[in-house]
Structure 1
């Protein structure tokens, strides 16, 4: 009996010791598992483990490595997605079901005028635009054009995210597109108006002549003169429109070479000499013989004819126009000055726009197409130059252009 009790005591003691050791090992395993959760790069130590605890530790390490690989792959994908999004010219914003920002690329930050990432922040707190709020709340995919605060006119497209609540917004800056549409509409309206006026005069004069005025010795010459003048005006307008069309399409062929400025200027003067004599406008030329630029001779001639002719037309009778040129570093500045009424400050920056009129009454009297200065600007810039206008003292205007000077070697050649 005594031996039986002793045996039972030994068994119980051994069991308690075994349970204690196992509990200690399981506790250490649990702590190691917690460490793995807190620090994914760590692993459960299994060198001293044996049996089922070793197998359990190996499984935990295998799961940790699997989770680590998945986390790295997810991080790589998110980084790749962010990099691709930042390369887009369109703005991209991803929001969750509570309208908090999950992704915001560089283009979107520029459009919203923010520097930080704003990830985790409510979108509608930073962009208080009613149209955007309605777009985000819309149950289906939708789009709307909105004006962002202190930002561009923007076309926003909203699409649902699959599998969970949220939206992806694509932002496209349409400021330039809308401006170009306005320019196109204005251009068509202006062309229609400019064509309508001479066509109406030609039609009216022709109908009057057919009705019997051709036999009237006093009326017939006046009507025929009107036909001729307006036909010439139509021809000039169409020629200018064709030039602009070729320039816009890059089809205006330029043959850039060394060009003597004085020689081309004298050639240009022959085209406006008759008009200058009619108005008794004196054109003075002060250009050194040795001044040579890199330009297309025909284009430079067209530029100078436009500028000098404008000076003659808008200068009062008995006025003066001066054409001068001088070296300016590695460029040559050519000036056409006049002592006419000049151009007001508010009009000066826009005179090179198509059909822009600083003074419509003076333009009607002068009879221009309204496209000459626009063609001048296109041609000068196509040859790598600059063009502008500034006030002349004490009165009048100075139209100037700057073209590359021919180098000594190319000039000699």
Structure 2
């Protein structure tokens, strides 16, 4: 049974007092007797303190506690208990870490741990296979220096990890990777890299099939449209009962031709990550042309179409692709806005980048449809799409054009209150027309 520390101190005090009295009676020097007894007691305490220091510095945590008496015995036992608890906690934690590392080692996906600055801390074997990381020489190195790809560098430095990044493996160009990054702890990064080569191959097969079918259909459709146009040019020689069927056939042939054009355009957009042309585009002039076409499309419906464009603000990219994306947004606003409605197009820049906004007072879209609007052939209302003659590919084209120009599409809409489509482009895509700015 361990002694009570207060009782031990009391006993030591009484023994010290008794020794002082005895030594004082023998020598008659009471002050020296007290000082000598205190010095002896202090030397005993210092000896045990030095023993404790040597034990803490040199002893193995699994060694037995040195023998001690009095207060030191309780102190040794307490320290030993704390050491044992800490050792058991470390062993449990190490067991969890070992199991986690064993499980991630068995994964086919690469798991890479980065510090808050993006330096490599740990990775599983799949990280070496998919990314070419080498241990230990790559440990502590910035990940953007080892995964040398401009899209990865831009993705990592932008710090927007809501969507994964797809690119080819730096080790094997035949491997297609998908990279997910999550922030945790003190802004550390957890990067998961997945091999999606098989999915990419299936997607490429689908793209090739669509492109080939579109090409094959174009020739017979052109022949059919040509004969229909010739027959309708001589409509006065046709029997009245054949006139309406011929007109409907021509309308459907025209609609199918537009569909094939959009499918082929999508195939071209998906073929590469960057536009073939990357020159400054005069967006203000481009929007003026699109506004003129939109007024013609509105016709007798009398839409009020306004344009507000920042002068001298250019955008790096492909003129034809941007024209296709922007015209899709404006023409959709015309199609889905009732007669007499308002459509406002705005092009401006701020510290975040350049932005194009198309706002209408149309019928609006329910919130449940917004996440899927850029999917191919997705219809909010099939009957409404048939009335407008759309192909269902317009917003898919917009999405792919923006991706190729490092942009993103934001959609805000409420039924009965109109819709707002906003294209956001980063600062790297923005260009200033110095000549126009000087003239202004």
**TM-score, length-scaled by structure 1:** 0.49
**TM-score, length-scaled by structure 2:** 0.46
